[in-house]
Amino acid sequence: MGKATGFMEYARQTPAECVPLERIKNWNEFAIKMDEEKLREQGARCMDCGTPFCHVGRLLSGMASGCPLHNLIPEWNDLVYRGNWEIALKRLHKTNNFPEFTGRVCPSPCEGSCTVGMNGKPVTIKSIEKAIVDRGFAEGWIVPEPPLVRTGKKVAVVGSGPAGLACAAQLNKAGHTVTVYERADRIGGLLTYGIPNMKLDKGTVQRRVDLLTAEGVTFVTGTEIGKDIPAEQVRGEHDAVVLCGGSTVARDLPVEGRGLSGIHQAMEFLTLNTKSLLDSGLADGEYLSAAGKDVVVIGGGDTGTDCVATSIRHGCRSVIQLEIMPQAPLSRQPGNPWPEWPKVLKVDYGQEEAAALYSEDPRRYLVSTKRFVGDDGGQVQELHTVRIEWTRDEQGRMVPVEVPGSEEVLKAQLVLLALGFTGPESTVLDQLGIARDERSNAAAEFGAQATNVEGVFTAGDMRRGQSLVVWAIQEGRQAAREVDRFLMGASNLP
């Protein structure tokens, strides 16, 4: 597993990035490729730890610890260190259908549970993963591998996000005839329209879609199951159906003035921007522009950060990001031990860019929005906010309490709500009679992935709720194995 003393000899080093004031001038990915010698050194930092928690993939304290895909991380770190890149790629693909996606957008729970990280800085697992797969494409090692034999079984996958694509890829390998239905005009779901191009280039997504097409997967775009085609019809025309529609009902902020113009859900903002960028390089104007506006993003997660970065590239006048939770600590606290995910302050790319442009971090913590105020034309102009403190109520629950005298008025002509999602849309689930869990998700046992309707399975955010791309890929793979077992009586899929 790497060089036995590598973690003592080499310091952690991640790929350099284009400086913020330069990269905000375009929509390109901004990580700079590391040279092979440096990558091999980083692979050498993977120690012979005996029990590699990096690929355990368990939930600890409600968050992922280790890789949910159980990637064979020590193996391919060692192979990179020794220069065996093609074999490293084979080990990587053994557990992960799309390392080019996770190597770009995954928050790396594997690194949070890296043994080196107990007393130092963890191995740069994510950047090595990305380097392996990118080299695989560059060298021509990744080519279409259609199945040698078809089973004659037909499977419909509804939704083409990471769960749907992973499920389709695995079922196709098993020889089934797979059709993926997507209501958008492009394949990729969240990967295409939920993540900005500078974070995940859409050519990278299309490259994998083209590969799956060449392997025999059929993609149908612009078709919403439940509306354009009745869900029962799809079920009747296929031997099995897998629902991978995601968690797309956005959480709202029902306060005074919510109906004013200029207040939008984050996904509407991000989706329209990416579509216009792909269609015309933003020349068609078919997007919500932040140019010249004071922007307030409500929500402190990754989607909020994406809104900050996108607004900056539009040329906004100012941008503020509000978070109702307190600022995370700078280092692990006693109640957050290794190998749990480290709940520490992270400065992401959007905050880096805002700080470079406006000389301060855009985030404001422990802030609650009371109401929106608009002009005579119904356009939002202000947010009225108040600071809060988290205290325990009589039942012992943590609740927000307003701080007297802390009211503030913020200018805003564009407000973006990045408050997460409450569950999947109901159209397909209702038409098929799918049972729900207490959070309105499609009810299915984790691992079995089967709903209460025979022959209908589910995977990804539609089953587990809003989560990570890596969990979606894992669930898609599990659903494929269970569908294969349902159709054939047994399965050899991993």
CA angle 115, 117, 121 (to 5 degrees): 140
Domains defined for the chain, CATH in brackets: 6-139 (1.10.1060.10), 154-248+422-488 (3.50.50.60), 252-419 (3.50.50.60)
Is the per-residue pLDDT at 46 higher than 70? yes
**147-167 pLDDT per residue, tens:** 999 999 999 999 999 999 999
Work out whether strand 63-65 and strand 154-158 pair parallel, antiparallel, or are unpaired: unpaired
Between CA 90 and CA 125 the distance in angstroms is 16
* Non-local CB neighbours of 50 within 8 Å, separated by 6+ positions: none
First and final C-alpha spacing in the chain: 23
Amino acid at 189: G
Give percent of the chain with pLDDT exceeding 90.
96
**337-386 pLDDT per residue, tens:** 999 999 999 999 999 999 999 999 999 999 999 999 999 999 999 999 99
Is the per-residue pLDDT at 3 higher than 90? no
pLDDT at res. 78: 95
Return the residue matching tokens 């207040």: 263
Coil, strand, or helix at residue 156? strand
Q: What is the pTM of this model?
A: 0.96
Provide the pLDDT confidence category of residue 50 given band limits of 50, 70 and 90.
Answer: confident
CA dihedral angle for residue 428, residue 433, residue 435, residue 438, rounded to 10 degrees: 60
**Which is more confident, 47 or 367?**
367
Mean pLDDT value of segment 292-316: 97
Coil, strand, or helix at residue 318? strand
Furthest CA-CA distance within the chain: 71
Q: Is the peptide bond before 339 cis (omega within 30 degrees of 0)?
A: yes
Is the per-residue pLDDT at 2 higher than 80? no
Q: What is the average pLDDT score of the chain?
A: 97
Q: What backbone phi and psi angles, to 5 degrees, belong to 39?
A: -65, -40
Is the per-residue pLDDT at 1 higher than 90? no
Is the per-residue pLDDT at 318 higher than 80? yes
Is the per-residue pLDDT at 326 higher than 70? yes
Mean pLDDT value of segment 74-92: 97
**401-443 pLDDT per residue, tens:** 999 999 999 999 999 999 999 999 999 999 999 999 999 999 9
Mean pLDDT value of segment 92-101: 98
Is the per-residue pLDDT at 483 higher than 70? yes
Is the per-residue pLDDT at 287 higher than 70? yes
**236-271 pLDDT per residue, tens:** 999 999 999 999 999 999 999 999 999 999 999 999
